[in-house]
A and B are shown apart, each in its own frame.
Chain A
Amino acid sequence: EVHLLESGGGLVQPGGSLRLSCAASGFTFSNYAMTWVRQAPGKGLEWVSLIRNDGGDTFYADSVKGRFTNSRDNSKNTLFLQLNSLRVDDTAVYYCARGGWASSIDSWGQGTLVIVSS
């Protein structure tokens, strides 16, 4: 069974940084592209970033480009999202998800909440 477990969320001041992690299990992690999606409170889903299976290519939403970095460690079956220069409107639940490169997202974690507030 596919299992994705996000961690690293919390309260941070505007301009601060956080590093989110996503531990994957139940599948061959290195075979899959991975995606981050976020959802602000009471709002819809927003695609954030995708990293291909070997980490060679990454893609970002314009809203986070230059501030967020998507990376992975295939030896540890772990996905990361480094969030820098955080803004109040980055407040959201951040989901780690499997797939997304020329394919739908077929599995989702339960999300980790990031709150950006002074």
Chain B
Amino acid sequence: EIVLTQSPGTLSLSPGERVTLSCRASIRLSGDHLAWYRQQPGQAPRLVISDASNRANGIPDRFSGSGSGTDFSLTISRLEPEDFAVYYCQQYGSAPYTFGQGTKLEIK
């Protein structure tokens, strides 16, 4: 089973700031099959990034994903109020298709 480790666990930031979240895989992912999801309180998750760097439909360009192999990141260039949520990475290259433990962005 591939273990995904996200860091940091929690970040306290202000609207307008830039942030980079990290996701590290225990072994190299095939095909860069890594996604990022955002989950706002009380809601289902929503796809943000697929295949490590492709923005999902309707996701604004302040979101960008990068990385390959074992190290991946999600960058939000200017935080908006709706971006304060929990972000999960997930690998879909090798079953079981595991999630990271999540990074929570909270308002400072």
CB <8 Å contact, A108 and B45: yes
Main secondary structure of the interface of B (DSSP, over half): loop
CB <8 Å contact, A102 and B92: yes
CB <8 Å contact, B1 and A62: yes
What 0/1 pattern do residues 70 to 109 of A give for CB contact below 8 A with B? 0000000000000000000000000100001111111111
The residue in chain B whose Cβ has the minimal distance to the Cβ of A109 is B44
The residue in chain A whose Cβ has the minimal distance to the Cβ of B1 is A62
Which of A50, A102, A103, A105 has most B Cβ within 10 Å? A105
The residue in chain B whose Cβ has the minimal distance to the Cβ of A95 is B44
Choice from B1, B95, B101 contacting A44 with Cβ under 8 Å: B101
Q: Tell me if B78 is interfacial: C-beta within 8 Å of chain A.
A: no
Main secondary structure of the interface of A (DSSP, over half): strand
CB <8 Å contact, A62 and B96: yes
CA distance A60 to B1 in the complex (A): 11
Which of A45, A62, A109 has most B Cβ within 10 Å? A45
Size class of A's contact patch? 20 to 34
Size class of B's contact patch? 20 to 34
CB <8 Å contact, B44 and A104: no
Q: Tell me if A11 is interfacial: C-beta within 8 Å of chain B.
A: no
- A46 shortest CB reach to chain B, Å: 7
CB <8 Å contact, A108 and B46: yes
* CB-defined A-B contacts under 8 Å, sample of 22: A35-B97, A37-B45, A37-B99, A44-B99, A44-B101, A45-B39, A45-B45, A45-B99, A47-B98, A47-B99, A59-B97, A61-B96, A62-B96, A101-B92, A102-B93, A104-B56, A105-B35, A105-B45, A105-B90, A108-B44, A108-B46, A109-B44
Listed in ascending order, the chain A residues whose CB lies under 8 Å from chain B are 35, 37, 44-47, 50, 59-62, 95, 100-111
Which 6 interchain pairs have the tightest Cβ spacing?
Answer: A104-B35, A104-B50, A108-B44, A59-B95, A44-B102, A45-B99
